[in-house]
């Protein structure tokens, strides 16, 4: 995008093919996205008001919450589509994707802090007066946990494998690798839902079951949201890959998404070690 | 779930609003009162090709860093008004010991709500957005980038802010239309168990808005770092030539990156505690201490998030009017980075009186005292920059010098508070309030005023009214010092903070503080009037170098860009004059 005009800031045009069309520095998508978020948070507010008072029914809030997410996702989709996807092969690469790669690294930095706050809570209670009655009755280490962990680690290898084949110019292997990675991610999410189901319905171990439950559902929940978001990103990569995007030289989003995926995998391993194993280590539940 | 009539109604209302909004954007006449002179020159009034749509649509759709910088600044000034009005309501109430002035409007409860919103607004909606406004406009120019690294994320980050603000202020306005939710009365620190058990959904609505606003700041920080690191023109602006303001914005970005997500996560936990029965901050769980640790692990870096860029602004502006290069440039950069790193190791100095382990308090005291060293390095560098300089006492210069004066008082009182034995006596008194107001208004506010006057010609193409700016300065520095020194004295006397009523013995100094606050208010009115009038009707700047910076060889990148832009405009056929004539006719 660095054109011969780039000396003059007034004529730099970051949004040529955008909505509204025909301008260079105008896009509705950011505004749409922000409106979506406003509706999401207003919906959440209405939900809370609905629960606390009889001014509105909290289902109105839930409806707005869901509708808001739909608008937000529409806005983000429009933004990413018109900024990066629509003329992928014509637009050339802006500073070799350096900004985008750095942007992902910085985002992952913020994510370390986000998870850090949750882990801080968990360490706080784990090192305090710790009771095994905080844990679900039949224990926290299940076969689902083992399968999920294996799947997620395996998927880190498959996305690496896919990226490697892309760099060697083998587009078909790349797409296959992405597909396998995505499937692993989806099965992982399914496993997580099954684990929650078992805990909540059969064990009565819910969000309100005490101090460990708060940390457990908080941390695995935010991780699950990250995996789901990662699966969405992988799905976008896959669709774009099937449409012929990416080659050995142009694959910034493949790189950034794979970083994200490795990061989520690493967080999971830490989580398994600290929250699952760490919660029973040294107690009568410990299998070790 | 059955589709309720309310839901259908809401959706229909939403659609209607969209239609109205769409219709409004087509009203091209909005151009006639484009705020702040339309970012310099009406880009939309015709060159060869148009880059931006006309009217309101331009402002809603813009992804241009300069437009967004102006929007951020306007938003910051609106928030400043709300923060200022709430402060004045409190100051008037505090003129007398009892509950008088606010008694018929909501009494102590209203006072507590005003206290909360004043703190939150000034820190998160005034100071931070105004810093982002200047950084948005200037950093891409200073580092010779085309735009911000992610122009659309930049726009999303801005638009989130006013929307979040609606929710954060809703507790004050919804009761006026009959929706009785209570505004948050938690103080800006939101300490549990008060904040986790306080009745009223207004607290939740506020927390949700606060949560949303955090995303805006984080997105902005990522964008600034990526812009300075990856979009910088590495030939014209290598690291060795990066200006001091961009250095501080870079450091600020690093702090935001690790501080704000902690706050967002902690607020999420608080919301879950309040609404879904989790036990993050319940007595058996993390309790009150965990909240304080998490909050101040965010909260102390937040202090430097707010003060480092203003320090950068002063370091940038002082040399321009002293006719000398910034003394010890490298040391200012190093001290900025040092403060940035140390700032994550001092949080528990807010918690000396909580009964923490004394070994911990001693180590936090040591690091807190150590952070005084890089701060003092900066002060001495500013003073030596002025030494033997050819000083030109323009409004930006006056505010920069005022910054140094206020920062010395605010900083030295802070060094005292960092010492455990002193803090044990002064914790939760007006001494603390006086200390941080010297920093937040006296330093941060002053630097932002300096930047506003310094870059006013670039952002509006016009000059501010010098006489009003001098009024603004003198009223602010006198009023500020009167108010905040009175607060320090009240603190020595033992006046606890956050109270709406007090013992009669404190009345004299409270009255002094209120008088000072009124003096400041007159200064602020002069400021807002000046900015508004000058942006619309001020004298046109007649050169690309209104500050004569070429003389001292300090004609920096943003002014070079401005001069180039002026030349392009003149070559395009002097539409300035036509624009002016139109305005004169309208008068």
Q: Which residues of B touch A220 (CB under 8 A)?
A: none
H/E element, B350: none
Residues A80 and A132 in one domain: no
Count other Cβ atoms within 10 Å, centred on residue B477: 22
B25 in a structural domain: no
Residue A278: burial class (beta carbons within 10 Å; 0-12, 13-18, 19+): middle
Tokens of B565: 């832009």
Least confidently predicted of A80-89, B257-266, B294-303: A80-89
B287 in a structural domain: no
Tell me what pLDDT residue B4 has. Answer: 58
The mean pLDDT value for B67-71 works out to 96
Diameter of chain A by CA atoms? 71
The contacts of residue A248 (CB under 8 Å, 6+ apart) are: A166, A167, A168, A169
Structural domains of chain B, count: 1
In B335-394, the residues whose Cβ lies within 8 Å of chain A are: none
A221 in a structural domain: yes
Tell me what pLDDT residue A3 has. Answer: 38
Asked if the model's pLDDT at residue B203 lies above 90, the reply is yes
A48 in a structural domain: yes
Give the tens place of pLDDT for each residue, B222-272.
999 999 999 999 899 999 999 999 999 999 999 999 999 999 999 999 999
Tell me what pLDDT residue A26 has. Answer: 86
List Cα–Cα distances, B153 to A16, B148, B427, in angstroms: 16, 9, 41
User: Which residue in chain A has the smallest CA separation from B259?
Assistant: A113
Tell me what pLDDT residue A58 has. Answer: 86
Domain boundary among A50, A72, A92: A92
H/E element, B540: strand B539-540
Q: At what angle do helices B128-142 and B65-93 cross, to 10 degrees?
A: 150
The mean pLDDT value for A154-161 works out to 97
Decide if B237 touches A, using CB distance below 8 A: no
Diameter of chain B by CA atoms? 78
Rounded to the nearest 10°, the torsion over CA B236, B238, B240, B242 is 70
Q: Which residues of B touch A71 (CB under 8 A)?
A: none
Sequential DSSP letters for B171-189: HHHGGGGT---PPP-STTT
Tokens 């990526």, located at residue? B226
Residues A78 and A187 in one domain: no
Q: Which residues of A touch B151 (CB under 8 A)?
A: 14-15, 25
Q: Which residues of B touch A1 (CB under 8 A)?
A: 146
Selected residue of A1, A68, A121, A212 to mutate for chain B interface (largest B Cβ count, 10 A): A121
Contact A59 B10 (CB under 8 A): no
Give the tens place of pLDDT for each residue, A211-227.
999 999 999 999 999 99
Sequential DSSP letters for chain A: ---TTTT-GGG--SBSSSSSTT-SBB-SHHHHHHHHHHHHHHHHHHHHHHHHSSSS-HHHHHHHHHHHHHHHHHHHHHHHIIIIITTTTTS--SGGGHHHHHHHHHHHHHHHHHHHHHHHHHHHHHSSS--GGGS-TT-S--HHHHHHHHHHHHHHHHHHHHHHHHHHT-HHHHHHHHHHHHHHHHHHHHHHHHHHHIIIIIS---TTS-HHHHHHHHHHHHHHHHHHHHHHHHHHHHHHHHTT---SS--HHHHHHHHHHHHHHHHHHHHIIIIIIHHHTTSTT---
Decide if B118 touches A, using CB distance below 8 A: no
Q: Which is nearest to B260 in space by CA: B433, B141, B79, B128?
A: B128
Q: Choose between B582 and B189: higher pLDDT.
A: B189
Contact A26 B62 (CB under 8 A): yes
Point out the residue among A25, A109, A117 whose CB comes nearest to the CB of B266.
A117
Mean pLDDT of the residues in chain B:
89
Tell me what pLDDT residue B585 has. Answer: 46
Structural domains of chain A, count: 2
b/e burial code for range A86-109 (CB count within 10 A of at least 16 → b): eeeeeeeebbebbbbbbbbebbbb
Separation CA B106–CA B452 (nearest Å): 37
Q: How many CA atoms within 13 Å lie on the side-chain side of B528?
A: 15
Tell me what pLDDT residue B176 has. Answer: 83
Separation CA B228–CA B239 (nearest Å): 10
B442 in a structural domain: no
Interface predicted TM-score of the whole assembly (ipTM), two decimals: 0.92
Count of all residues that appear for chain B in the document: 587
B572: pLDDT confidence band, cut at 50, 70 and 90? low
Tell me what pLDDT residue B37 has. Answer: 40
- Calculate how close chain A gets to B258, using CA atoms only, in Å: 5
Contact B561 A117 (CB under 8 A): no
Structural domain of B111? 63-187+202-233
List Cα–Cα distances, B221 to B154, B159, B230, B249, B473, in angstroms: 10, 15, 14, 8, 31
A285 in a structural domain: no
Q: How many CA atoms within 13 Å lie on the side-chain side of B323?
A: 10
Residues A60 and A193 in one domain: no
Decide if A200 touches B, using CB distance below 8 A: no
Give the tens place of pLDDT for each residue, A271-281.
999 999 988 88
Tokens of A138: 């039949």
B111: pLDDT confidence band, cut at 50, 70 and 90? very high
A111, A270 Cβ separation under 8 angstroms: no
The mean pLDDT value for B5-18 works out to 66
Q: For chain B, what percent of residues have pLDDT higher than 90?
A: 79
A71 in a structural domain: yes
Residues A275 and A263 in one domain: yes
A288 in a structural domain: no
Point out the residue among A26, A99, A214 whose CB comes nearest to the CB of B149.
A99
Asked if the model's pLDDT at residue B295 lies above 60, the reply is yes
Domain boundary among A92, A113, A132: A92
Structural domain of A213? 95-280
Asked if the model's pLDDT at residue A283 lies above 80, the reply is no
b/e burial code for range B379-396 (CB count within 10 A of at least 16 → b): bebbeebbeebeeeebbb
- Calculate how close chain B gets to A180, using CA atoms only, in Å: 31
Residues A59 and A122 in one domain: no
Tell me what pLDDT residue B23 has. Answer: 65
Give the tens place of pLDDT for each residue, B17-59.
777 766 666 555 444 444 444 444 434 343 445 678 888 888 9
A44: pLDDT confidence band, cut at 50, 70 and 90? very high
B279, A210 Cβ separation under 8 angstroms: yes
Separation CA A24–CA B245 (nearest Å): 29
The mean pLDDT value for A249-264 works out to 95
B167 in a structural domain: yes
């Amino acid at each position: 995008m660095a054109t011969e005009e780039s000396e003059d800031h007034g004529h730099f045009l970051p949004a040529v093919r955008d909505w509204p069309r025909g301008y260079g520095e105008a896009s509705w998508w950011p505004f749409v996205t922000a409106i979506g978020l406003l509706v999401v948070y207003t919906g959440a507010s209405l939900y809370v008001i609905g629960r606390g008072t009889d001014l509105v029914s909290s289902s109105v809030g839930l409806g707005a919450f869901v509708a808001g997410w739909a608008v937000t996702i529409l806005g983000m989709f429009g933004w990413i589509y018109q900024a990066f996807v629509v003329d992928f092969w014509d637009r050339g690469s802006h500073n070799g994707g350096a900004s985008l790669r750095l942007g992902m690294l910085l985002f992952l930095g913020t994510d370390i802090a986000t998870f850090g706050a949750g882990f801080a809570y968990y360490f706080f209670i784990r090192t305090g007066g710790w009771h095994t009655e905080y844990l679900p009755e039949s224990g926290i280490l299940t076969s689902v946990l083992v399968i999920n962990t294996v799947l997620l680690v395996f998927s880190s290898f498959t996305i690496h494998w896919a990226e490697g084949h892309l760099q060697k110019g083998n587009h078909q292997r790349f797409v296959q690798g992405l597909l396998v990675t995505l499937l692993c991610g989806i099965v992982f999410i399914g496993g997580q839902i099954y684990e929650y189901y078992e805990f909540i319905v059969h064990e009565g171990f819910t969000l309100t079951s005490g101090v460990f439950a708060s940390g457990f559902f908080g941390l695995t929940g935010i991780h699950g949201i990250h995996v789901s978001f990662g699966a969405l990103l992988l799905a976008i990569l896959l669709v774009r890959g099937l449409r012929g995007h990416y080659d050995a030289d142009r694959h910034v989003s493949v790189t950034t998404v794979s970083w994200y995926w490795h990061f989520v995998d690493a967080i999971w391993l830490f989580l398994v070690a600290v929250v699952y194993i760490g919660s029973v280590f040294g107690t009568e539940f410990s299998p070790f | 779930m059955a589709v309720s009539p309310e839901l259908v109604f809401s959706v229909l209302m939403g659609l209607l609003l969209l239609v109205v909004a769409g219709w409004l954007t087509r009203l091209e006449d909005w151009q006639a009162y484009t705020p702040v002179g339309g970012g310099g020159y009406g880009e939309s009034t015709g060159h060869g090709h148009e880059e931006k749509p006309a009217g309101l649509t331009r402002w809603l759709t813009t992804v241009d860093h300069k437009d967004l910088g102006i929007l951020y600044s306007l938003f910051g000034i609106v928030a400043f008004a709300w923060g200022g009005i709430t402060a004045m309501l409190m100051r008037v109430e505090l003129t007398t010991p009892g509950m008088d002035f606010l008694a018929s409007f909501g009494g102590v409860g209203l006072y507590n709500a005003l206290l909360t919103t004043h703190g939150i607004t000034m820190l998160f909606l005034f100071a931070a957005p105004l810093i982002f406004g200047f950084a948005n406009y200037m950093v891409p120019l200073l580092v010779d980038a085309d735009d911000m690294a992610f122009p659309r994320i930049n726009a999303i980050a801005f638009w989130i802010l006013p929307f979040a603000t609606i929710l954060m202020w809703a507790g004050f306005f919804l009761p006026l239309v009959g929706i009785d939710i209570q505004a948050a009365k938690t103080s800006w620190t939101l300490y549990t168990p008060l904040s986790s058990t306080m009745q009223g959904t207004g607290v939740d609505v506020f927390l949700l808005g606060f949560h949303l606003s955090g995303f805006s700041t984080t997105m902005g920080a990522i964008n600034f770092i990526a812009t300075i690191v990856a979009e910088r023109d590495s030939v014209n602006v290598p690291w060795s030539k990066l200006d001091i303001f961009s250095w501080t914005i870079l450091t600020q970005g690093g702090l935001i990156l690790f501080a704000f997500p902690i706050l967002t996560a902690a607020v999420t936990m608080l919301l879950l505690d309040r609404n879904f029965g989790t036990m993050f901050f319940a007595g058996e769980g993390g309790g009150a201490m965990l909240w304080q640790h998490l909050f101040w692990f965010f909260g102390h870096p937040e202090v430097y998030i707010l003060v480092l860029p203003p320090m950068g602004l002063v370091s940038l502006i002082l040399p321009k009017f002293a006719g000398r290069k910034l003394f010890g440039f490298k040391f200012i950069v190093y001290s900025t980075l040092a403060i940035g790193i140390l700032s994550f190791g001092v949080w528990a100095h807010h918690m000396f009186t909580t009964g923490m382990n004394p070994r911990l308090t001693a180590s936090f005291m040591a690091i807190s005292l150590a952070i005084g060293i890089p701060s003092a390095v900066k002060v001495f560098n500013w003073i030596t920059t002025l030494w033997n300089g050819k000083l030109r006492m323009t409004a930006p210069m006056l505010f920069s010098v005022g910054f140094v004066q206020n920062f010395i008082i605010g900083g030295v009182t802070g060094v005292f508070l960092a010492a455990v034995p002193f803090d044990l006596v002064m914790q939760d008194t007006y001494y603390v309030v006086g200390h941080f107001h010297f920093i937040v208004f006296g330093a941060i506010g002053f630097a932002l005023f300096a930047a506003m006057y310094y870059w006013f010609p670039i952002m509006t193409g016009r000059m501010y009214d010098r006489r009003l700016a001098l009024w603004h300065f003198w009223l602010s520095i006198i009023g500020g010092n009167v108010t905040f020194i009175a607060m320090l004295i009240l603190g020595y006397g033992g006046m606890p903070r956050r109270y709406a009523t007090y013992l009669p013995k404190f009345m004299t100094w409270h009255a002094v503080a209120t008088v000072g606050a009124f003096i400041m208010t007159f200064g602020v009115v002069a400021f807002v009037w000046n900015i508004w009038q000058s942006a619309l009707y001020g004298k046109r700047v007649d050169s690309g170098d209104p500050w004569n910076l070429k003389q001292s060889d300090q004609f920096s990148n943003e002014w070079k860009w401005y001069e180039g832009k002026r030349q392009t405009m003149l070559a395009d056929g002097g539409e300035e004059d036509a624009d002016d004539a139109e305005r004169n006719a309208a008068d």
